[in-house]
Amino acid sequence: MTVLVDLVVVLGMLVVVPLGLRLVAAPETALACRLWPLFAVPGAVSLWLPRGTPATALAACYAAGTLLLAVAAPRRLMRTRCLAPREVALLTALVSPAVAATALVAERLGHPLFGFDLAILDLTVPHFHFAGFAAALVAGLVRGATGNRRLSAFAALSVPLGTLLVLAGYFVDDWTELAGAVVLTAGMWAVAWLTWRDVRAGVRDRLTGALLAVSAAVLVATMLLALSWALGEATGWPHPSLAWMAATHGVANALGFALCSLLAWRRLARAPGQPPAPAPAPTPTPVHAVHPTPAVHRAPTTPEPQEAPE
């Protein structure tokens, strides 16, 4: 299981996070985006060394990069003064890698942080790269592409809330973690439905459409697995083992959801003939959210009231 988990984490460090950061139009993340390889490569190397000082030092280097991202979140909030759903999702994405890096440093040191077993710390690292960073970022992108809809607002808020509840469950009990899994699953299924119905349906490029379709379909199965595991942990009922979850839920979420989804959004951002949506007009509390997303072509709908800054 360790080798498989480490490969997934390497994908998150070297591909998913930098790919996601390029989709974020925020001056606060510009420095972290430029310097990310200097932090991510040592972090990836640390995974393949025995636990000890060298591995911990390299993991700490990666943690420094994630701290740079985490600091960007309050700086962005101070600048925008906005807690609209899309912004909440983006802020969650920015701080999630720091949670993963904290677990990584402790695990590489061989220290049971907060009393957690090293195997749990090991699995926390990919969880907050994919269920934290990638899921929240995609939820924000979907919110930006689908406009002022209640379902997209629900997705952009429930993914961060579910992630927070799962984290709280580590310290409280399995029932809190189950509640987090339920909320997170609901949010991810909303992301999947909106991706399939609204985003994919308006895409002309077949490869981009296929990537979006895969990312949406995968979430149906992977989040069912997450629910079954959390329910089993809380109730004692039979449920998949951690090794089985890593090989199924973990790999499918990393490759089928996160990677396919971010590659699709990257292609949308570069698609010729699909200009990005116009930036909002300057106001005393401007909203600079996820990178302007190419307009999705769909049938006209009745305009809904504009979302006020939350």
Long-range contacts, stretch 113-120, CB < 8 angstroms, 24+ apart = 114/170, 114/171, 116/170, 119/242, 120/170
Question: CB–CB of 138/261 below 8 Å?
Answer: yes
In the numeric block, which tokens belong to residue 176? 């809190």
Residue of 83, 70, 79, 63 lying closest to 27 (CA atoms): 79
Residue of 254, 282, 280 lying closest to 17 (CA atoms): 254
In the numeric block, which tokens belong to residue 262? 């971010």
H/E segment holding residue 46: helix 30-46
Sign of the dihedral defined by the CA atoms of residues 249, 199, 188, 41, in that order? positive
**DSSP string over 252-275:** IIIIIIIIHHHHHHHHHHH-TT-P
> Residue 294 forms beta bridges with which residues?
276
* Residue that has been written with the tokens 């504009």 in this structure: 306
H/E segment holding residue 11: helix 2-11
d(CA 13, CA 264): 19
Query: Would you give the distance in Å from CA 199 to the centre of its chain?
Result: 18
Residue of 94, 88, 146 lying closest to 265 (CA atoms): 146
Rounded to two decimals, the pTM is 0.86
d(CA 105, CA 111): 9
* Residue that has been written with the tokens 């329910």 in this structure: 231
The residues near 297 (Cβ < 8 Å, ≥ 6 apart) are 202, 203, 204, 274
C-alpha atoms less than 13 angstroms from C-alpha of 173 in its C-beta half-sphere: 3
- pLDDT for 275: 33
H/E segment holding residue 221: helix 206-235
- pLDDT for 270: 86
In the numeric block, which tokens belong to residue 227? 């629910």
From start to end of 145-231, where are the E strands? none
One digit per residue, the tens of pLDDT, for the chain of length 310 reads 589 999 999 999 999 999 999 998 789 999 999 999 999 999 999 999 999 999 999 999 999 999 999 999 999 999 999 999 999 999 999 999 999 999 999 999 999 999 999 999 999 999 999 999 999 999 999 999 998 789 999 999 999 999 999 999 999 999 999 999 999 999 999 999 999 999 998 899 999 999 999 999 999 999 999 999 999 999 999 999 999 999 999 999 999 999 999 999 999 988 764 533 333 333 444 444 444 444 444 444 444 444 444 3
- pLDDT for 201: 87
